[in-house]
């Protein structure tokens, strides 16, 4: 699945954006299936805004986002649900877990999104073990540390089908060792699906073998 951005400009950021050059805003960008993409930008320059526009949580922007040549604004609620169910997964910067559900329940919700789940429930245990969160699977997500919650959100994103994985500063609360483990799992899961990802972060990193770097 191809992702095209056409002269994208978030309305609240328009004045700031038009004053500087950007590899993403107000230009044409074509992201090809399977590409590993890093978007780097300082605080407050629009990383979260970009991820939210791609996932269509907001539409206060000029320009267009095209998934396989179809403008996401043309998707009705059902088509958008199918896109999020089968084609696009996400790790939000603020995670957006259900804090009153356990870690396992949060992950399980995504695993059973599709009528025929991609993975068996045992995959949750296997992924949790790799990321060192087995001991908190039965704990309410809201009681977990932010780093634990970040790993729950990563596993949740990985148990569903996707062609694209959107990740907004996904390792911000993980130490180097846990970041390495999480990045390895993400890379494997993308490789299995021949999926691409868009990862935003503040700085340069060597977590992945990126294909394309953009400055926001
Ligand atoms: N709906 C809105 N109305 C007005 N300003 C907004 C709106 N949404 C975002 N902004 C502003 O846009 C800028 C970019 O915000 P955003 O959260 O996308 O940045 P970011 O690069 O993800 O930041 P950080 O690295 O701190 O997470 C901020 O200055 C924010 O206040």
Residue with CA closest to ligand 1 atom 1: 12
Q: In ligand 1, which atom is closest to the CA atom of 51? A: 18
Percent of the chain with pLDDT over 90: 95
| Rounded CA separation 145/198 (Å) | 25
Distance from residue 42's CA to the centre of ligand 1 (Å): 11
pLDDT at 15 over 90: yes
Q: Hey, how many other C-beta atoms are within 10 angstroms of the C-beta on 44?
A: 10
Residue with CA closest to ligand 1 atom 6: 12
Question: Structure tokens of 97?
Answer: 């877990």
Dihedrals phi, psi of 32, to nearest 5 degrees: -90, 145
**Segment 196-214, tens digit of pLDDT:** 999 999 999 999 999 999 9
Query: Is the pTM above the cut of 0.90?
Result: yes
Contact 155, 133 (CB under 8 A): yes
Average pLDDT taken over every residue of the chain? 96
| Rounded CA separation 199/212 (Å) | 11
* Ligand 1 pocket test target in 44, 91, 171 with most atoms within 8 Å of CB: 44
Query: What's the CATH number for 2-215?
Result: 3.40.50.300
Question: Structure tokens of 46?
Answer: 């629009």
| Rounded CA separation 69/178 (Å) | 37
Task: Determine the average pLDDT of the residues in 72-93.
Answer: 97
**Among 36, 9, 2, residue whose Cα is nearest residue 24:** 9
Residue with CA closest to ligand 1 atom 7: 12
Distance from residue 48's CA to the centre of ligand 1 (Å): 7
pLDDT band at 50 (very low <50, low <70, confident <90, very high): very high
* Ligand 1 pocket test target in 8, 11, 13 with most atoms within 8 Å of CB: 13
Q: Hey, how many other C-beta atoms are within 10 angstroms of the C-beta on 204?
A: 9
Q: Compute the half-sphere exposure of residue 144: CA atoms within 13 Å on the CB side of its CA.
A: 29
Helical residues (DSSP H) of 94-145, grouped into ranges: 103-111, 122-131
Q: State ipTM.
A: 0.94
Q: In ligand 1, which atom is closest to the CA atom of 58? A: 1
Question: Given this model, what pLDDT does residue 18 score?
Answer: 87
Q: Hey, how many other C-beta atoms are within 10 angstroms of the C-beta on 151?
A: 28
**Segment 52-77, tens digit of pLDDT:** 999 999 999 999 999 999 999 999 99
Least confident of 12-21, 53-62, 71-80, 144-153: 12-21
pLDDT band at 87 (very low <50, low <70, confident <90, very high): very high
């Amino acid at each position: 699945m191809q992702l095209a951005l056409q002269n994208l400009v978030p309305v609240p950021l328009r004045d700031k954006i038009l004053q500087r050059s950007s590899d993403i805003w107000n230009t044409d960008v074509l992201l090809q299936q399977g590409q590993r993409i890093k978007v780097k930008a300082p605080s407050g320059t629009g990383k979260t805004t970009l991820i939210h526009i791609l996932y269509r949580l907001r539409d206060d922007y000029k320009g267009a986002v095209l998934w396989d040549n179809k403008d996401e604004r043309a998707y009705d609620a059902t088509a958008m649900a199918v896109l999020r169910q089968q084609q696009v997964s996400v790790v939000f910067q603020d995670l957006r877990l259900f804090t009153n559900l356990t870690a396992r329940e949060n992950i399980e919700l995504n695993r059973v999104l599709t009528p025929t789940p991609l993975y068996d429930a045992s995959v949750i245990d296997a992924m949790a073990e790799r990321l060192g969160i087995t001991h908190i699977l039965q704990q309410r997500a809201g009681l977990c540390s932010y780093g634990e919650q970040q790993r729950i959100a990563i596993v949740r994103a990985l148990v569903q089908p996707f062609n694209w994985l959107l990740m907004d500063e996904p390792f911000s609360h993980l130490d180097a060792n846990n970041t390495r483990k999480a990045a390895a799992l993400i890379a494997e899961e993308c490789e299995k699906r021949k999926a691409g990802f868009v990862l935003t972060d503040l700085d340069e990193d060597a977590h992945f073998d990126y294909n394309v770097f953009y400055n926001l």
